Structure 1
Amino acid sequence: MRKHLLLLSLGLSSIATQAQEYTGSSTTTTAKYFNKQGDIQPTAEGASYSEETELKEGNAATVRTFYISGKPRSVIFYEDLARHMVHGISEGWHENGNLSWHSEMQHGKPSGPYRNHYPSGQLHYEQNYADGKRQGELVVYYPDGRLKRREIYADNQRVNGTCYNPQGQEMPCYEFEVMPSFPGGQQALLQYIGQNTRYPGKALRRGVEGKVFVKFVVDTTGVVSNVRIDKGVDPLLDTEAVHVVKNLPRFEPGRQDGRPVPVYFTVPITFSINKSSLFRQKPRAGNQPASGL
C-alpha cells in the first residue's frame, strides 16, 4: 500500500510506576504476578512480586504490590488509571520493611517532596516539586549519611549546587538525573518508528485505526526490554507496534546520581488511514505498506 495512505504519530514520555489498562467503572479487585523484569507471570511460581488493582467508581483505582513473601512492596493511588494519573501520597518499601520511596502527586503532577531511601533506612535523596517542576532544594547522601550533593532549583532549572566526595571535599558536579537518549535524538527516534512501521494489510482492509500504547524499559545497558502493550486497539496493530519497539536500536542509558538505571517509557503510536487518499490514487501492485509521520 502506498505511503500516502498512512499517517502515524508518536509521542514519548517516561513513567515511574506500573499500571494496568482499565476501562469502565468497577469496585472489583484483580491480581497479577510479575517477574523481576516486570513481565506478567501466569502463576506465583517464579514471580518476584504480585500486584492487586482495586478498581473504584469512575476510573479511580488503588494499585498495591507485594513481595512473594507477602510483605507490602508499594501502594499507588490513581485518580484516573486509564490515563495513568496518580493523585495523593504513594509509597514503596524494601523487603526488610524499611521505606524505599515516598511520592506526593496532584492530578498526575509531582507536587511536594519525593524521598528515596537506602535499604538500611538512611535517606538517599530528597527533592521538592511544585506543579510538576523541581522547585527548591535537592539533597543527596552517601549510604553512611554523609552529604553528597546539595542543589537549588527554580522552575525546574538548577540555580546552583555543590557536590562532595566521600571525604567531604568539594568536587565537580554532574547532572543528577539523565534520561536515556536515542542515537540522533528524539527526532531520529520518530523517524525510525515512522520508517519501520507497516500498517497490517488486514487491519487496513477492515478500516481498523487507533492509538496503541507500548510500554518498555531502557535497561542499564541501553537495551530495550520488557516490551508489552499498555493499552491496545486491535491484535493486528498491537503486534506491529510491539514488533517495531522491540527492534529499536540501543539507547544511551539513563543515569541517576552517576549510576546507570533502568527507565520506563510509554510510546503511543497512532495508526490512522487517510481515507480521502484512497479515492484519489490506486496503490501500485506489490508495494508494501509504509508509514510516515
Structure 2
Amino acid sequence: MRFSTFINLSVLFLFFTIIGGCQEKEYISQETYYPSGSVESQTIYVDGKRDGLQKFFYEDGTLASQILFVDDFKQGEFKAWFHSGTLKLVANYRDGKLQGESTQYYEGGKMRLKERYDNGELIYQKKYTTDGKVEYEDNY
C-alpha cells in the first residue's frame, strides 16, 4: 500500500510540476496612431515587456525606424530612415546599450558621423562635412 501511495504522490507531483511550468505568456501587439488615423508605431509586449520588433512610421506609412527588443532591452541592429527612404542611421545594441559601430548619414547618402561604442560608452567619433571631408576625429 505504501508503494502505491508513493507512486500516486510522485505522479501527482510530476503532473503539477508540468502544469506549473506551462504557464502561458501574455502577448500584446500595441499600435499608436497619428491624429489622421495612420499607424505611428507598432510594439510587441510579452508579459508587459517589449519583446520583438518595434517599428515607427512617418504619417504617410513610410518606415522611419526599427529595433529588436529582447526582454525590454534593445538588442541587435537599429536602423532609421529619412522620409525619402534613404538610410539615416545604423547602430548596434547589446543588452540595451550601444555596442560597436554606429553610422549616421546625410540625406543625400554620404556619411555624416561614424562612432564606436563599448558597453554604452563612446570611445571613438569621426564627423564628416556634407562634401565628405573629415570635420573632426577623436578617441575618448
Residues 76-97 of structure 1, C-alpha deviations (whole Å, 9 max, x = no match): 011233xxx2111111111222
Asked if the contact 1:149–1:161 (Cα under 8 Å) also holds between the matched residues in 2, the reply is yes
Residue of structure 1 in register with 2:84 after alignment: 120
Q: Normalising to structure 1: TM-score of the pair?
A: 0.36
Q: Normalising to structure 2: TM-score of the pair?
A: 0.72
Residues 238-258 of structure 1, C-alpha deviations (whole Å, 9 max, x = no match): xxxxxxxxxxxxxxxxxxxxx
Output the CA distance in 2 between the equivalents of 1:58 and 1:136: 33
Q: CA deviation at 1:58?
A: 5.7
Alignment partner of 1:172: what SS? strand
2:55 paired with 1:75: no
* Equivalence map 1:52-63=2 (5 Å): 59-63=26-30
Asked if the contact 1:104–1:114 (Cα under 8 Å) also holds between the matched residues in 2, the reply is yes
How many residue pairs get aligned? The number is 115
Q: Rg bigger for which structure?
A: 2
* One-letter code aligned to 2:119: D
* One-letter code aligned to 1:138: S
Alignment partner of 1:63: what SS? strand
Output the CA distance in 2 between the equivalents of 1:95 and 1:164: 30
Q: Which has the higher strand share?
A: 2
* One-letter code aligned to 1:95: E
Any unmatched runs of 5+ in structure 2? 1-23
Output the CA distance in 2 between the equivalents of 1:122 and 1:87: 27
Q: CA deviation at 1:126?
A: 1.4
Q: CA deviation at 1:101?
A: 0.9
Residue of structure 2 in register with 1:162 after alignment: 126
Alignment partner of 1:112: what SS? strand
Residues 203-261 of structure 1, C-alpha deviations (whole Å, 9 max, x = no match): xxxxxxxxxxxxxxxxxxxxxxxxxxxxxxxxxxxxxxxxxxxxxxxxxxxxxxxxxxx
Residues 17-39 of structure 1, C-alpha deviations (whole Å, 9 max, x = no match): xxxxxxxxxxxxxxxxxxxxxxx
The higher-RCO structure (CA 8 Å, 6+ apart) is 1
Any unmatched runs of 5+ in structure 1? 1-56, 175-293
1:164–1:87: structure 2 CA closer, same or farther, 3 Å change rule? same
Output the CA distance in 1 between the equivalents of 2:36 and 2:118: 42
- Could you tell me the percent identity over the aligned residues? 27
Q: CA deviation at 1:162?
A: 0.9
* One-letter code aligned to 1:70: G
Residue of structure 2 in register with 1:111 after alignment: 75
* Equivalence map 1:132-147=2 (5 Å): 132-147=96-111
Alignment partner of 2:99: what SS? strand
* One-letter code aligned to 1:77: I
Residue of structure 2 in register with 1:65 after alignment: 32
Output the CA distance in 2 between the equivalents of 1:160 and 1:89: 28
Asked if the contact 1:96–1:119 (Cα under 8 Å) also holds between the matched residues in 2, the reply is no
